[in-house]
Each structure stands twice: as structure tokens, then as C-alpha cells.
């Protein structure tokens, strides 16, 4: 189970973009990969042609490539540094009934994510 979710703020731990932070655009849990905004940009050569939205221009296009999930860590909202993620169960009262919910939190500060 991936502890990183879509729209999380993460920091790259290793590789050419080490230290950069970005928002997670997509998570592929079966492949253990994530797509992070503005990180791991690669140049693709695209042929000009007809697309579903009309004619597309050819040339070089820069876009984000997938990263392995072990190379990124969630950023703690309090310290703004990478941290590990934990889960805890909390009792929440809704409409007069008590429910147990699973909550993600940053292990360094204890704040909810």
C-alpha cells in the first residue's frame, strides 16, 4: 500500500532532482511509481500529425517522467522537511454516533496530512 497520495507535497530524496519539492499528479501503486509536478523532466521528440483535437505541432516537448516511490518522501506541513507517514485510529462523533476513522499523520510533528 502506497503511503503517498495524489495532491501530496513531496520532496525528491535521490537522483538528478534531489531536494526539489512538487505536488503529486498521479500514483501508480502496482508499479510503485509517482508522477511529480516539475520534477524529473525529460525531453520527448514528437512527430507532427493529426490528433483528436486537430493538427499537432511536432518538435521537442518537455514533460514529467515517472519516479520510483522510494525516491520521494511526504513533506511535513509544520517543518517543511521530508518525513515518514503513519496511521492512527481516532474516534469521531458524527450525527450523535461515534465512528472510528483512520487518519494519516506526519511522524516527525504528529500533524495530520
Give the span between the Cα atoms of 27 and 41, in whole angstroms.
Answer: 17
Instruction: Give me the tens of pLDDT residue by residue for the chain, a chain 113 residues long.
Output: 678 999 999 999 999 999 999 999 999 999 999 999 999 999 999 888 877 777 778 889 899 999 999 999 999 989 999 999 999 999 999 888 999 999 999 998 888 88
Report pLDDT for 95.
86
- All 3 cell numbers of residue 17? 532532482
Three-class DSSP labels, the chain: CCCCCCCCEEEECCCCCCCCEEEEEEEECCCCEEEECCCCEEEEEECCEEECCEEECCEEEEEECCEEHHHEEEECCCCCCEECEEEEEEEEEECCEEEEEEEEEECCCCCEC
pLDDT at 1: 61
All domains in the chain, ordered by first residue = 1-75 (2.30.30.30), 77-112 (no CATH)
Compute the CA torsion angle 95, 101, 107, 113 (nearest 10 deg).
-60
Distance CA(15)–CA(40), nearest Å, equals 9
CA–CA dist 24, 113 (Å, integer): 14
Amino acid at each position: 500500500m502506497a503511503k503517498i497520495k495524489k495532491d501530496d507535497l513531496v520532496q525528491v530524496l535521490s537522483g538528478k532532482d534531489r531536494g526539489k519539492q512538487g505536488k503529486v499528479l498521479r500514483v501508480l501503486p502496482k508499479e510503485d511509481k509517482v508522477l511529480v509536478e516539475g520534477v524529473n523532466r525529460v525531453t520527448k521528440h514528437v512527430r507532427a500529425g493529426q490528433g483528436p483535437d486537430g493538427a499537432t505541432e511536432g518538435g521537442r516537448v518537455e514533460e514529467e517522467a515517472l519516479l520510483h516511490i522510494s525516491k520521494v518522501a511526504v513533506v511535513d506541513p509544520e517543518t517543511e522537511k521530508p518525513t515518514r507517514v503513519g496511521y492512527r485510529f481516532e474516534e469521531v462523533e458524527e450525527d450523535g454516533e461515534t465512528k472510528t476513522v483512520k487518519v494519516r499523520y506526519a511522524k516527525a510533528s504528529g500533524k495530520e496530512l
